Amino acid sequence: MQVSEVRLRPFTPADAPVVASWLDAPGVAAPSGSLANRWAALLAAGGKARGYVATSNGEPVGLVRLDIGPDRVAELTLAVARSCRRTGLGTRLLSLVLDEAKSLRIRRLQAIVDIANAPALAFFSNLAFEETRSLPGSITFVRWLHDAEALTLDMQAQA
């Protein structure tokens, strides 16, 4: 698929069937069990977990989930439609996510990647994320958002 301009919009429950089909990599899956019927509504509610759908030519092509903690650290989930993988869409999507994270005053993004997910390991390694620790079966990648950190520090200094 040829991807032109990419935009982010809020995730809606109507996006769930399409998005769930992209969650097919090691360590990434749509919720099951008691969350199977509620995950889309929870993600769309915009509370602690924020969901965004990337669109190109009006069609959904990617998903971003930011699970924001009280310390302004967000766990990042990024998924790309199968037809758009290996096209540079993930890099473009990450750029949009970084802008959104800064506007939300997030200090740090972290992605926890299954060690069997070679494309995601390479993606985060190549895009200024630092490997900070390994958990059994996964690797945590971190990217500091210095502009957001400076904003937080400036606000504390003025208080």
Query: pLDDT tens, 102-155?
Result: 999 999 999 999 999 999 999 999 998 999 877 889 999 999 996 544 444 444
pLDDT in tens, 17-39: 999 888 888 788 787 777 767 88
Other CB atoms within 10 A of residue 109 CB = 23
pTM of the model: 0.82
Take residue 126 and report the two structure tokens written for it.
Answer: 């190549």
Class of domain 6-158: alpha beta
Going from N- to C-terminal start, the domains of the chain cover 6-158
